[in-house]
Amino acid sequence: MSRKIIHVDCDCFYAAVEVRDDPRLRGRPVAVGGDPNRRGVIATCNYPAREFGVRSAMSSSHALRLCPELVILRPDFDKYRRVSGQIHDIFRTFTNIIEPLSLDEAFLDVSESPLHANSATRIAETIRRKVRDTLNITVSAGVAPNKFLAKVASDWNKPDGLFVIPPDRVDAFVAALPVNRISGVGRVTGEKLAALGIHTCGDLQAMGRLDLAHHFGSFGERLYHLARGEDDRPVQTSRRRKSASVEKTYHEDKRTLAEWHRELDDLLERLRQRIDRLDANYIIQGLTVKVRYNDFRIVSTDQGGDRVEREPFERMLSQLWERHPAPARLLGVGVRLRDLKSPQQPDLFPEEREKALRQHRGP
């Protein structure tokens, strides 16, 4: 049976809450973020600020250079959590199958909802109206047969929009969908796809699974399915983690590899504390480090491993330094996790995979 999934995404959530609570900010460019004099970073901004080129993850000082009239407010996460809880109270009047992704977005499965004659479109319209009327902020929503398409749809008519992809329109919609709309296709993967002459999911459908695996490794399997609009992931009311990480932005650049290494003990101790708070069903299956340079370039590397020990993290930082020896404004460390409570994703086409592998191996 086809699912009915709604993805709800608040519009500029933190900034929208601040503008709602201070009418003097209405119509002005507003951002929520850190102190521009202390290397702060923009968390989010409203649409008037975006017209000047301000974006999330941008340094607050650069944002002010782009938009001198920008109002930068310190985040008030306690307030944002309260508003998020009020939004979820509205969600629960329609379904209990809710998967929060963050304070400002969530998936809802309304496949079995008796409300509004089981019309996911009408339910989404009602949710949007109730949030606007009750909380005086706007949300955008996407309706589709699965999570991947619902998330794409919620971004289609932002802000304050609704977009629906009915089951009988999935094939046509996905065929024309640009590949950069696929979750996980960032700049590097996008450039690699473009070099292969692939610009839409329709183009991507012409590639076989073995070719995709050759060019993109394990991500090729996901590309194969998403390019066809296939996503069997259920809406999970209790989300499980895939990773754990910590990072630190420094007031003064860390200019040498020795300085990078000196930061490891503090970072690894914080990472161990975070891992200790997880339940016993997680095991570590990989290690990762991240560096943001003072020109805001971000690089990372990872390797296998099942323990948080200094030596492999030190080695990975050294590898990044060899690639690009430059001052760092942020360092991060993390682990990839395997959740023993989560069943492994089944191979939807095992016979086709085995056939392809036999052809690849030869007689």
Q: What is the pLDDT of residues 55-79, one digit of tens each?
A: 988 889 999 999 999 999 999 988 9
Binding positions are 9, 104
Per-residue model confidence (pLDDT) at position 46: 96
Per-residue model confidence (pLDDT) at position 4: 96
State the SS3 of the chain: CCCCEEEEEECCHHHHHHHHHCHHHCCCCEEEECCHHHCCEEEEECHHHHCCCCCCCCEHHHHHHHCCCCEEECCCHHHHHHHHHHHHHHHCCCCCCEEEEECCEEEEECCCCCHHHHCHHHHHHHHHHHHHHHHCCCEEEEEECCHHHHHHHHCCCCCCCEEECCHHHHHHHHHHCEHHHCCCCCHHHHHHHHHCCCCEHHHHHCCCHHHHHHHHCCHHHHHHHHCCCCCCCCCCCCCCCCEEEEEEEEEEEECCHHHHHHCHHHHHHHHHHHHHCCCCCEEEEEEEEEEEECCCCEEEEEECCCCCCHHHHHHHHHHHHHHCCCCEEEEEEEEEEEECCCCCCCCCCHHHHHHHHHHHHCC
Mean pLDDT of the chain: 89
Give the active site residue among 18, 99, 105, 221.
105
Q: CATH 3.30.1490.100 occupies which residues in the chain?
A: 243-339
**How many CB atoms are closer than 10 A to CB 1?**
6
Per-residue model confidence (pLDDT) at position 15: 95
Q: Over 80: is that where the pLDDT of 86 sits?
A: yes
Q: Over 80: is that where the pLDDT of 50 sits?
A: yes
Q: CATH 3.40.1170.60 occupies which residues in the chain?
A: 14-76
Whether omega before 159 lies within 30 degrees of 0, making that bond cis, reads: yes
Dist. CA 294–CA 271, nearest whole Å: 24
Residue 105 annotated to the active site: yes
Is it true that domain 14-76 has CATH number 3.40.50.11260? no
Q: Over 70: is that where the pLDDT of 347 sits?
A: no
CATH number of 172-234: 1.10.150.20
Per-residue model confidence (pLDDT) at position 82: 93
Q: Over 70: is that where the pLDDT of 354 sits?
A: no
Residue appearing with tokens 């990044």: 320
Per-residue model confidence (pLDDT) at position 65: 95
Write down the architecture of domain 243-339 according to CATH: 2-Layer Sandwich (3.30)
Q: CATH 1.10.150.20 occupies which residues in the chain?
A: 172-234
**How many CB atoms are closer than 10 A to CB 226?**
24
Query: Which of the two residues, 25 and 40, has the higher pLDDT score?
Result: 25
Q: Which pair of structure tokens corresponds to residue 58?
A: 């941008």
Q: CATH 3.30.70.270 occupies which residues in the chain?
A: 5-12+78-167
Question: Which residue type sits at 289?
Answer: V
Binding positions for Mg(2+) are 9, 104
CATH number of 5-12+78-167: 3.30.70.270
Q: Over 50: is that where the pLDDT of 187 sits?
A: yes
Pair 30, 45: CB distance under 8 Å: yes
Q: Which pair of structure tokens corresponds to residue 280?
A: 């016993």
Q: Over 70: is that where the pLDDT of 109 sits?
A: yes
Distance, CA of 292 to chain centre: 18
Query: Which of the two residues, 87 and 183, has the higher pLDDT score?
Result: 87
Q: Could you tell me the pTM of the whole model?
A: 0.70
Residue partners of 73: CB distance under 8 A and separation at least 6:
15, 18, 30, 31, 32, 33
What Cα–Cα distance (Å) separates residue 184 from each residue in 14, 187, 216, 254? 24, 10, 11, 30
Q: Over 60: is that where the pLDDT of 349 sits?
A: no
Residue appearing with tokens 């390797």: 303
Across 176-180, 223-227, 237-241, 326-330, least confident range: 237-241
pLDDT band at 236 (very low <50, low <70, confident <90, very high): confident
Query: Which of the two residues, 31 and 355, has the higher pLDDT score?
Result: 31
